[in-house]
């Protein structure tokens, strides 16, 4: 497996409120872990929320084991919750993977929920962080299966030489307009309300997490990114750069450069994973 992560302040912001994580090694019950978080809530709160989310997810996941239930237990013996409210999209490959895929999904969802609880609690207790929150997209690869969890409008794509597919669904106002036929995808990219998020980590006590199971094969590239990339570049342009005949780091940096050349209106974060490449490029 080969992966590379990069985050950039962009051309207009005064600070970077995105936060990324890349681990090719085991994290608790997870074989590997990749995360992008995009914070919101002012100069102080947004950066704090995204960093806390990522650090909490990594911490919570690291406390899980590879046992049958995949649960996380704290010092008091509490068990992280798992409910039917989460949106789960199962593939035949995930069904075949059985307990491993479900255990990975449980770990990701429970870890994101733990981040939600911590951020929400601090936002209530400290007025400096009132209203803060963050998007999260997290993923882990198990052999030929990709398990994805997301909240907000940071995205995960799977691309190959022929196509690019957006796996996650944005939890945003403009995405609802697109789904209802009110505006086109191109109009959404330039809509004045494109930054309105309908679901985020840390904003409310309870949180619904979307989870996806996606088969991956040799030649696939997995991209996690913040909207600083997708608001600047079309999916076809992103696919073209991912498939360039260049080193992984060069392709990641090219994505950031291309977004900045279009204006760089927001922070830009990119994590690229090539599950079936042997070389490690971090």
* CATH code where residue 35 lies: 3.60.40.10
What per-residue confidence (pLDDT) applies to 185? Answer: 66
* 136 vs 188: which has the higher pLDDT: 136
- For residue 191, being part of any structural domain is answered with no
Q: Which domain holds residue 27?
A: 2-168+199-274
Among residues 37, 86, 28, 92, the alpha carbon closest in space to that of 60 is found at 28
Q: Which of 63-72, 74-83, 141-150 has the lowest mean pLDDT?
A: 74-83
- For residue 174, being part of any structural domain is answered with no
Please name every residue paired with 23 in a beta bridge, in sequence order, or none if there are none.
Answer: 33
Q: Give the full edge-to-edge strand order of the sheet including 221-225.
A: 2-8, 268-274, 221-225, 155-159, 164-166
Place 196 in a pLDDT band, splitting at 50, 70 and 90. confident
Strand 210-215 versus strand 145-151 pairing type: antiparallel
* Tens of pLDDT, residues 130-145: 999 999 999 999 989 9
* Tens of pLDDT, residues 213-224: 999 999 999 999
Place 169 in a pLDDT band, splitting at 50, 70 and 90. very high
For tokens 């998020």, what's the residue? 197
Whether 194 has a pLDDT exceeding 80, the answer reads: no
Q: How many CB atoms lie within 10 A of CB 257?
A: 14
- For residue 23, being part of any structural domain is answered with yes
The predicted model gives 106-115 an average pLDDT of 97
* Model pTM score: 0.88
What per-residue confidence (pLDDT) applies to 282? Answer: 40
- For residue 126, being part of any structural domain is answered with yes
Distance (Å, whole) CA 201 – CA 206: 9
- For residue 6, being part of any structural domain is answered with yes
Q: What angle is formed at CA 119 by the lines to CA 116 and CA 121, rounded to 5 degrees? A: 100
E runs forming strands in 152-260: 155-159, 164-166, 210-215, 221-225
* Tens of pLDDT, residues 204-254: 999 999 999 999 999 999 999 999 999 999 999 999 999 999 999 999 999
Distance (Å, whole) CA 45 – CA 41: 5
Q: What's the total number of domains in the chain?
A: 1
Collapsing DSSP to helix, strand or coil, 115 comes out as helix
- For residue 179, being part of any structural domain is answered with no
Distance (Å, whole) CA 14 – CA 35: 23
What per-residue confidence (pLDDT) applies to 60? Answer: 98
Collapsing DSSP to helix, strand or coil, 22 comes out as strand
Q: Which of 14-18, 45-49, 96-100, 143-147 has the lowest mean pLDDT?
A: 96-100
- Whether 104 contacts 211, CB under 8 Å: no
Structure tokens at 79: 């068990």
Q: How many CB atoms lie within 10 A of CB 81?
A: 12
- For the chain, what is the radius of gyration of the CA atoms? 18
- For residue 193, being part of any structural domain is answered with no
What per-residue confidence (pLDDT) applies to 91? Answer: 52
Whether 189 has a pLDDT exceeding 70, the answer reads: no
Q: Give the full edge-to-edge strand order of the sheet including 210-215.
A: 18-23, 33-40, 133-142, 145-151, 210-215, 87-89
- For residue 187, being part of any structural domain is answered with no
- Whether 272 contacts 251, CB under 8 Å: yes
Mean pLDDT of the chain: 87
* Tens of pLDDT, residues 171-186: 977 777 777 777 766 6
Whether 95 has a pLDDT exceeding 70, the answer reads: no
């Amino acid at each position: 497996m080969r992966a590379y992560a990069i985050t950039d302040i962009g051309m207009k912001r005064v600070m970077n409120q995105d936060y990324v994580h890349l681990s090719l090694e085991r994290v608790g019950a997870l074989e590997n872990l990749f995360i992008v978080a995009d914070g919101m809530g002012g100069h102080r709160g947004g950066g704090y929320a995204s960093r806390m989310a990522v650090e909490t997810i990594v911490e919570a996941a690291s406390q899980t084991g590879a046992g049958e239930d995949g649960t996380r237990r704290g010092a008091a013996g509490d068990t992280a919750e798992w409910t039917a409210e989460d949106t789960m999209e199962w593939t035949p490959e995930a069904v075949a993977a059985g307990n491993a895929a479900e255990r990975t999904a449980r770990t990701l969802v429970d870890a994101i929920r733990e981040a939600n609880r911590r951020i929400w609690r601090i936002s209530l207790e400290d007025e400096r962080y009132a209203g803060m929150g963050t998007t999260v997209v997290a993923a882990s690869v198990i052999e030929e299966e990709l398990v994805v969890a997301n909240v907000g409008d940071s995205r995960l794509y799977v691309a190959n030489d022929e196509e690019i597919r957006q796996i996650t669904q944005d939890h945003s106002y403009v995405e609802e307009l697109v789904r209802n036929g009110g505006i086109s995808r191109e109009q959404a990219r330039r809509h004045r309300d494109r930054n309105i998020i309908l679901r985020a980590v840390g904003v409310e006590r309870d949180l619904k997490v979307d989870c996806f199971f996606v088969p991956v094969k040799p030649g696939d590239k997995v991209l996690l990114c913040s909207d600083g990339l997708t608001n600047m570049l079309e999916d076809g342009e992103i696919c073209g750069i991912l498939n360039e005949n260049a080193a992984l780091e060069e392709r990641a940096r090219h994505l950031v450069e291309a977004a900045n050349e279009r204006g760089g209106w927001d922070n830009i974060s990119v994590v690229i994973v090539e599950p079936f490449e042997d070389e490690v490029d971090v």
